[in-house]
Amino acid sequence: LPFRLHLPTHSPMAFANVDPLPVVPAPAKVWASPWQGAPASLATVTSTSFVYPGGFSREEGRAIPSSSSRAPAVQAEVPSTARSQGNSEVGIATQALALLVSAAGAGLAGRIAHGRRRRRWLVARQAQGRVVRPPPPPWMNPTAKIIDVTPSRKPPAPAPSQDATLYVHPATLAVENALPSDSLRTLCRVLASASGTIAPAADNPDRTRRPIMDATLTIRSLLRFCELRHTADDDLQEGDVAGKCGAGLRVLLKKSREYQQEVIAALDSRVDDVLRMIRAFYDQAELTNKYSSFFRSVIERAIPEILSRKNEPLPRLISFLEPYGEVQLSFLYEAAKAGTLKARFQELEPDQLLEVTERWAQKARADKMAVVRANQAREVVRSVAGLNFYLAPQQRAEWLALALWGAVLEMTPEVEVLEDRIRQGALTRNDPVEMIEIAELMGKVPGLSDDMFNLLQQPIREAFIEAGSARAGQALAALTFSGISQEKQKDAPRPERTRKRILKLKKGEEAPRTPNPLHRRIKKPEPEKPPLPTEGLSRLLVNACQDFAKSAPMKEFENVLGQWAATGFKNTACKKVAMGFLLRRLQLDADPEEDNPPLARGAVARAGTHLVRLNVPGHTLSYLVEWLLSQPAGWVSEQAYPQTEQDRAQTKTASDEERVAKEERTAKCAFVERALMLLSHLWPDSEAPGEDSAGSQEVSLPRLSDADAALRLVGPGAEDSATPREADLAADRLCQRLVAQLPVDNLVLEAEFALRGWRRSQEAQPLQALVAPFLLQSAEVCARGGAPAADPAKGDLARAVSLLTQAMSQKELGLQAAEWVLAPFAGAEEADVSKAVSLVSSACALGGAPEATVSDACARWLSGGCQPGDFGVSFARSALAAWERDGVRGEGLEQLRKAHLWLQGQHEEVVAVLPTAAGDQLKAAVDGIDALMGAVDGEAPALPLLNRAREGVLREVGPVGAAAMADAVATAWAAAMPGLSPAQAASHFDLWWQGLESSAVMIDQLTSSSIAELQWRLNVKLQATFSGKTPIGAQAPAWRLEGIRKVPWFASEALVQETFRDDPAGLKKYSWKPHRGSGFLGSKLAKEQAQEKTGGRCVFCGSDHKLQPRFFWPQELGGTDLVSNLTVACELCSEFHDKLGSKRWAEALNQEPEDAAQVWWQAQKKASVQAMDMLTGSTIG
């Protein structure tokens, strides 16, 4: 490299040619920049130091930086003999010459040493294959004069010719000679000395050391060893491995690991050689464990090719791979993933495979392997558990429990409980109910693999066959499928309104600085939860339903659908299976060549009804209705959506056809749903097909309105037909069951004859009008004692006769009994209805209900459709209408109070037997009347209760009733909230009741006006008390003394005695504590904002002593927790308010201003007299 010396051109020491000089010792002191006069810095070195140009010193290999590193030259100290020449010209010249020689020598010596170090550095860089020239130092000026003093170098030696001699190491030559031999011991001994590297020949210019065994020789040696091992030529004994042969093996494996990529490339397509290697080292556990990474890399790449070959038995491979550690697990994983275990099932040895799989599963469960390997173990466990091995019941239970572990992503407490149940034999006892329950619980485990459900299909099928259709039906009927809904989920509820976080600081603390939003840490999104195994569970249940439907009777299948409908079953696939089952059974029944037992038509009708309740479209079940009524295909469409030729001609365009198709589908759905429900009454549950059960006592009968619709749906029937329809026979039996409920025999025959005639003629007269006279006649006969009392258990008609008999005997009837009596009279003749209503009204009046109100409720309920459970709501509406009609404050109020008491005593018993929706409506009606009567009696109703009542029966209250209700509610609220004006409360309540104002706005307006009203009253009291006696703008006093107790300044002595009647002298321990509130009410922000609203004064007395925030509108009455509902009161007024109650405290606040002034000045006068008496007594003493 060029050797450069940089000197400034303006320096007198610049020279042209300087020969390289050796490093010379430097004096004890060295200065930089000698041409600048005074030295810039000083670096002290020892006498053994050497000075280099470039501004740094080196001492014993350690660099000492100097501040003169940017100096262009270094000047050595001049000897003292040179400085003693005086001022003569000769002395000056001598001194300059000595200085010049010293500086040049020192600089060149440093440059030479620096060049040597640089050349050594470049040689090292060249050995690495690259040369990087460092940048010039910063003190080198590009415009300076450059002097090249580069020494000459010898040219590189020429490359060796083609016929040059090649030098081979003896160890390499020995390995080459041992490879063709058949002695494995010789090969191993030679390999023991083949490790390490060799130096190049003396005349070789390339001085790089070479290994004794290269990649090619290593691969050849490895293949030769694997070829000879465990063959007839294998002369390697067991004891040889511990000696030199073992060292040779270690050298071979070490070199193979060193050239791992080359070995993998060489063995990539040579599966036979990989198999030989597996067999060669399977008995060397120590070596395979030490070099496991090499074996894993080579063998795992060849596993797919090994599995594709069938010449090697799987048990032998599994056994050979055991010393290779996780390679065996990888082999099993690939075999399970590719389906090789199932395809080559006959080759497997169950004991070996189960033992190996269980060992890997135990390691994975003990967290002794990586997550990836643990997942591979799970896959192997699932695959092995699915093989059709014959296992004992307990062993099968153990493996199913282990398969459950392999099917989940992580073990949770729920999964552990499920695993314990499986391990205890829940899936091996062949109980379908328990097995289906386990399957449904497994369906609620997130991330569960579908393979687990595949394992359960065969055991469940066998359990269904062994347990029978009855037990299998119980298992399917117990399904809910509620945890995993396949249908559209409802919208998630909106989150509740979050409260503002209030920062509470202690005294002396500073608020923390608001962090910069740009610097905040971004929160990582939470990982999504694994999905539920919906598809696997659905497929399992569908297969179970198909297995059940193959041999189950229709009755069992109908029970299963009934339970599904009651629990809200969600699996759509199972519903399709049920529809297919019904269609197939109907086709078999219609086939005359098949000898099948007759189907239970009632079960078919009820099954169709259950499917409708399970949200199956009704138009898809039209074939059931046509089969039950023995009608041809298309009959349902004609009945549900009749069309004339003119209507068909008008549907010309595609949009018209689509509209008509939609209307027809909607009409068919409604018709089929109604028809299936009605036809289920023709064939009761306890009636066997072909039997006459007219006298059966266990058959549930429909209401008269439903029986009327069912008989009209069947039609009159053909009298001259030789083979009547099943529907006609069922209709005749239904008529017999209806009239059999009458207790009088003569009336039974007469009613049956009339009923058959009505059915044949299909008159427009409803069935109720035909039956009602027979009910009244039977009740009269029973009341006179001419016949035994009717049995209410026979049906609705028998129960109505029994209750009518009680009413005629002047016995009390309740709310539910009144509805039961009136139900058969819906649609009857006016005279019969009036007689029944009169009997019911007089019987209910015996229990305390207003007779006129009951009569009006009966008429209202009969005209409103006679909905079950709606009679109580009709009674509540009638009571409110009578209250408005008869007077809201006189007789009408007394009648409403009586009706309210009677309804309160009856509704709880009725709600217990009603459906949920009807019971909720009745309860809401009773709560509305409770709120109204509570307001009339002075009890403040809460806003939520009034809101529910507004949506219920109170919604129909007229203007008179609404005004009376507003006055009652406003008066009750004014008594509960001191300062609230009844007039303003009534005005805002009227707006809120009409929906013109929200609850929050009403509370805000009334709170603001009430606080202003209290402040105005306080100012009037202060003006009347302190006018002319205090300066303008004086505030109210904090308190006054009544005995030894502090009380508000305007509280009279009587009010104080009433408040503290338990402790008139104030001698008891003071136990009352102010209500500080919690949450927002107890925060500092609430107190500040409340004081800001009232000017920092108590809203009752004007004091600023111990103020506490409180809600003006109590939260138990529906008050909000907003700032608009806040007010502030002192501790004394709060105590009086809590002890006296809101109503009495409001009366105390409404006292006349003159009375407040008199109370204050009387107290001051009394205090002055006491003070004078004290002074007089002390003077005399």
Q: How far apart are CA 715 and CA 1019, in angstroms?
A: 86
> Could you tell me the pLDDT band of residue 444, with boundaries at 50, 70 and 90?
confident
What's the confidence (pLDDT) of residue 273?
Answer: 92
CA atoms within 13 A on the CB side of 358: 11
Over residues 992-997, mean pLDDT: 86
Q: How far apart are CA 47 and CA 50, in angstroms?
A: 8
What's the confidence (pLDDT) of residue 9?
Answer: 37
> What's the whole-model pTM score?
0.63
Residue entry with tokens 């000045």: 1161
Between residues 61 and 982, the one the model is more confident about: 982
> Could you tell me the pLDDT band of residue 49, with boundaries at 50, 70 and 90?
very low
pLDDT, tens digit (0-9, with 9 covering 90-100), for 778-814: 888 888 876 666 667 778 888 888 888 888 888 888 8
What percentage of the chain has pLDDT greater than the value 90? 9
pLDDT, tens digit (0-9, with 9 covering 90-100), for 7-19: 333 333 333 333 3
**Alpha helix locations (H) across 241-386?**
244-258, 260-266, 271-281, 285-290, 292-308, 314-320, 326-337, 340-343, 350-365, 371-385
- Please give the full DSSP string across 847-868, using - where no structure is assigned: TT--HHHHHHHHHHHHHTT--T
What's the confidence (pLDDT) of residue 116?
Answer: 78
Of 239-253, 591-605, 649-663, the range with the lowest mean pLDDT is 591-605
Between residues 857 and 45, the one the model is more confident about: 857
What's the confidence (pLDDT) of residue 755?
Answer: 87
Of 148-152, 311-315, 761-765, the range with the lowest mean pLDDT is 148-152
Over residues 548-568, mean pLDDT: 84
**Does the structure show a pLDDT above 60 at 1087?**
yes
Q: How far apart are CA 1057 and CA 1136, in angstroms?
A: 11
pLDDT, tens digit (0-9, with 9 covering 90-100), for 251-309: 999 999 999 999 999 998 889 999 999 999 988 889 999 999 999 999 999 999 999 88
What's the confidence (pLDDT) of residue 788?
Answer: 65
Is residue 1045 within 8 A of residue 1060, CB to CB? The reply is yes
With CA atoms as reference, report the closest residue to 1003 among 985, 1020, 1018: 985
Tokens of residue 380, six digits: 């192997």
Over residues 534-556, mean pLDDT: 85
Q: How far apart are CA 540 and CA 450, in angstroms?
A: 9
What's the confidence (pLDDT) of residue 84?
Answer: 40
**Does the structure show a pLDDT above 50 at 714?**
yes
Over residues 558-585, mean pLDDT: 81
Is residue 549 within 8 A of residue 576, CB to CB? The reply is no
Positive or negative torsion for Cα 252, 257, 258, 260:
positive
**Does the structure show a pLDDT above 90 at 328?**
yes
Is residue 346 within 8 A of residue 387, CB to CB? The reply is no
> Could you tell me the pLDDT band of residue 326, with boundaries at 50, 70 and 90?
very high
Over residues 65-75, mean pLDDT: 36
**Does the structure show a pLDDT above 90 at 334?**
yes
What's the confidence (pLDDT) of residue 543?
Answer: 87
- Please give the full DSSP string across 1139-1156, using - where no structure is assigned: HH-HHHHHHHHT--HHHH
Over residues 119-144, mean pLDDT: 51
Beta-carbon contacts of residue 394 (< 8 Å; ≥ 6 apart): 425, 428
Q: Which class for 1046: exposed (0-12), middle (13-18), buried (19 or more C-beta within 10 A)?
A: middle
Q: How far apart are CA 611 and CA 65, in angstroms?
A: 96
What's the confidence (pLDDT) of residue 1092?
Answer: 80
Of 414-418, 869-873, 1161-1165, the range with the lowest mean pLDDT is 1161-1165
> Could you tell me the pLDDT band of residue 1069, with boundaries at 50, 70 and 90?
very low
Q: How far apart are CA 279 and CA 88, in angstroms?
A: 101
The rounded mean pLDDT for the chain is: 76
Mutual angle of helices 215-228 and 170-178, in 10-degree steps: 30
What's the confidence (pLDDT) of residue 295?
Answer: 92
What's the confidence (pLDDT) of residue 152?
Answer: 44
**Does the structure show a pLDDT above 80 at 452?**
yes
What one-character DSSP code corresponds to residue 483? S
**Does the structure show a pLDDT above 80 at 706?**
yes
Is residue 1018 within 8 A of residue 1037, CB to CB? The reply is no
**Does the structure show a pLDDT above 70 at 384?**
yes
CA distances from 390 to 349, 1003, 1116, 1169 (A): 12, 77, 69, 111
pLDDT, tens digit (0-9, with 9 covering 90-100), for 1029-1068: 544 444 667 777 777 778 888 888 888 888 777 665 554 4
With CA atoms as reference, report the closest residue to 1132 among 1161, 1101, 1109: 1101
Helix (H, G, I), strand (E, B) or coil at 197: strand
Over residues 439-462, mean pLDDT: 86
Q: How far apart are CA 845 and CA 649, in angstroms?
A: 62
Over residues 948-969, mean pLDDT: 85
**Does the structure show a pLDDT above 90 at 741?**
no
Q: Highest mean pLDDT range out of 22-26, 651-655, 688-692?
A: 651-655
**Does the structure show a pLDDT above 90 at 332?**
yes
Q: Which residues pair with 1126 in a beta bridge?
A: 1111
> Could you tell me the pLDDT band of residue 530, with boundaries at 50, 70 and 90?
confident
What's the confidence (pLDDT) of residue 254?
Answer: 92
**Does the structure show a pLDDT above 60 at 64?**
no
pLDDT, tens digit (0-9, with 9 covering 90-100), for 816-852: 888 888 888 888 888 988 999 999 999 999 888 899 9
**Does the structure show a pLDDT above 90 at 329?**
yes
pLDDT, tens digit (0-9, with 9 covering 90-100), for 157-209: 555 544 445 567 788 888 888 888 888 889 898 998 888 887 776 666 766 78
CA atoms within 13 A on the CB side of 402: 27
What's the confidence (pLDDT) of residue 1099?
Answer: 86
